[in-house]
Amino acid sequence: MEPQAVKSNLVLILDYGSQYTHLITRRIRSLSIFSLCISGTSSLKSITELNPSVIILSGGPHSVHAAGAPCFPDGFVEYVEKNGVFVLGICYGLQLIVQKLGGEVAVGEKQEYGRMVIEVVKDCGWLFRGKKVGDKQVVWMSHGDEAVKLPVGFEVVARSEEGGIAAVENPRRRFYGLQYHPEVTHSPEGMELLRHFLFDICGVTAGWKMEDVMEEEIKVIKGMVGPDDHVICALSGGVDSTVAATLVHKAIGDRLHCIFVDNGLLRYKEQERVMGTFETDLHLPVTCVDASVQFLSELKGVTDPEKKRKIIGKEFISIFDAFAHDLEKKLGKKPTYLVQGTLYPDVIESCPPPGSGRTHSHTIKSHHNVGGLPKDMKLKLIEPLKLLFKDEVRELGRILDVPVAFLKRHPFPGPGLAVRIPGDVCQGNALDVLRQVDEIFIQAIKDAGIYDEIWQAFAVYLPIKTTGVQGDQRTHSNAVALRAVTSQDGMTADWYYFEHKFLDDVARKICNSVRGVNRVCLDITSKPPSTIEWE
C-alpha cells in the first residue's frame, strides 16, 4: 500500500516534534479516514505529490522565535490556498500560521500547561458551530509562547480562562488553529471537534477500510514479486511478522519460505503453540529450527545485557544465512525478497525530529531491522505493514483469519527470556523456573478475565537467594518478580492495579508449585522512569 493509492481523502500531518503527533494520526484513522505523518520540514514537492485534502501542523517543543525553528517549506501557503487545502494548526502549528501569515507570537505572560478550561467567545464560528458564547470545556494545553496579534482576516473563537487565545479561524482562507491538543483523552471533547472539522468543515468522507488495505497490498505484492521469485521471512511468533507473512502468503502462495527459530529462550511450550498456529490455522510454509543448544552455549557465563543481545543477534543471523543458502540449493536460485513486519511508528521514528540538528535517521527497532544480514544476500524488502499501527495490524490479521487469541497476545521481546533473567541466563535452572512461573502468572490473568486489559505481563527471575520456610523447613531459594503494565503503544506505561486476592492466590500458587522459589515480588514502577523489560 503506497500513500498515493489512498490520497483522495488524505489527511497529512506535518510533524514538528510533539509527543502526541502519532496520536493525531491514530485518532483520524479511527474515523475511517486515511492519515499520514511526515516531517514538518519536508519539501513542498513531498507534500504536493501526496495531494492531501487536509494538512494538520502538529505541536512541538520549539519556539517560533528560535533560530532554526522548524517550519513548513517556502510556497506552502500559496500551494494550499491555490488548491483549496484545509489547514489546522495545533499549538506550535497555530503559532506558525499566525507568524507566517503576518500576525505576532510572543512569550506568554503566563505559561499554560496541563488541564485548562476554555470558553467559546464567538457564536457563529466554524470550529465550535453548535456551541454558544460562554460554553466551556476542559482541554489539555502545553505552551509557553502565545499568539498576541492575529493575521488579517483571522478571528478568535475561544479563549482560555486566563484570557489567552485558544482557537482561531479564517474560513475564507481555510486556515484554523487550536492552542491545545484535541487528540489527547485529557481533552474530552477533542474527538468531537476533530470529527466536526474533518467531516463538516473540510468535507472529507469516511471511506478507508482495512479490507481495502488488504486488497491493495496484495495487488502491490503481486506486482512487485516476479512469477519466478521466491521470498523468505523470519517468524518471531509475534503478531507483526505473522500477519505480514500471512498477507504475503495470500499473494504469492508457497513461494514464501518462513523460518521459526527456537533459541532456547522462548516461553513455556512456545515452539509447540506457535508452530501449531502456523501450520494448522494459517497453513504457512514454516521450517522450525531448534537452535537452543547453539544459542545457550554462546550465552553461558555472559552477564552484560548488551553483550547478550549482540550474541543472540549474531547467532540468529548465522542461522538465517544458513537457511537462505539451503533454500538456494533446493530452488537452484537465490531468494529475491525478505518480508519484514515493520510498522508505521517504526517508519515515523526513523525520521529525525525537526529542529534536532540531526541529518541521519534513527535506527529502526532492532527486532524490525536486518542491519546485520550478510551483504552477499542482497535481499529486497517487502514491508506490507509499513503504513499501519499495531491496532490496525490486529484488524488486518482478523480479516486474514489469524486466530483472535493469537492476535491478542502480549508483546514478547526479540531476545526472549534473556532480558528477563538479569545476569547469566544459564545460571542453575533459571530458564525452567522462569517458564513455570510465567505460565502460572499468565494463566491466572487469563482465568481472571483481565488479559486484554493489560498491554504486557510477565515474570522475571531474580538472581538472588532469599530465606524462606516451606514444609516446616528453612529454605534458601530464588525470588521472582511479576510485572504487568497498561499502555497504548509501549512508549509509556503504567503498572497494572491487581486486586489483592489475585496477587495472594498467584504468589501462593507459584511458591507451592515451582520448586526453587520462595518469594514473589511485584514490580510497581511505571515507564518512565523504568523500561517495561528489566534488561
DSSP 120: E
pLDDT of residue 362: 33
Pick from 289-303, 331-345, 359-373: least confident: 359-373
Q: What are phi and psi of 468, to 5 degrees?
A: -145, 175
Q: Please say if the pLDDT value at position 299 is more than 80.
A: yes
Gap between the Cα atoms of 321 and 336, Å rounded: 14
Q: Measured in Å, how far apart are the chain's first and last C-alpha atoms? A: 36
Q: Which residue has the cell 481555510?
A: 174
For 112, 197, 331, the CA distances from 227, given in Å and listed in that order, are 60, 46, 14
Q: Tell me how many degrees the CA angle 309-314-319 measures, rounded to the nearest 5.
A: 125
In this prediction the pTM is 0.74
pLDDT in tens, 427-448: 989 999 999 999 999 999 999 9
CB 398 within 8 A of CB 257: no
Mean of all residue pLDDT scores within the chain = 88
pLDDT of residue 377: 58
Query: Taking phi first (over 0 means left), then psi (-120 to 50 degrees means alpha), and beta for anything else, what does residue 314 get?
Result: alpha
Of the candidates 248, 245, 195, which has an alpha carbon nearest to the alpha carbon of residue 32?
Answer: 195
CB 515 within 8 A of CB 452: no
Extract the C-alpha cell encoding 155. 478571528
What percent of the chain has a predicted confidence (pLDDT) above 90? 63
Q: Please say if the pLDDT value at position 203 is more than 60.
A: yes
What percent of the chain has a predicted confidence (pLDDT) above 70? 91
Residue 476 identity (one-letter amino acid): H
Residues taking part in catalysis: 91, 181, 183
Angle of the 390-399 helix axis to the 239-252 helix axis, nearest 10 = 40
pLDDT in tens, 101-130: 999 888 766 666 678 899 999 877 899 988
27 CA to centre of own chain:
14
**Average pLDDT for 278-293:** 93
pLDDT in tens, 147-170: 889 999 999 999 988 888 899 999
pLDDT of residue 147: 86
CB 178 within 8 A of CB 210: no
Of the candidates 342, 360, 340, which has an alpha carbon nearest to the alpha carbon of residue 351?
Answer: 360
pLDDT of residue 350: 54
Q: Please say if the pLDDT value at position 366 is more than 50.
A: no
Query: Taking phi first (over 0 means left), then psi (-120 to 50 degrees means alpha), and beta for anything else, what does residue 68 get?
Result: left
CB 370 within 8 A of CB 338: yes
pLDDT in tens, 448-472: 999 999 999 999 999 999 988 877 7
**Average pLDDT for 520-527:** 95
pLDDT of residue 365: 35
Q: Please say if the pLDDT value at position 298 is more than 90.
A: yes
Q: What is the DSSP string of 470-501?
A: ETTEEEEEEEEEEEEEE-SSSSSBEE----HH
pLDDT of residue 8: 56
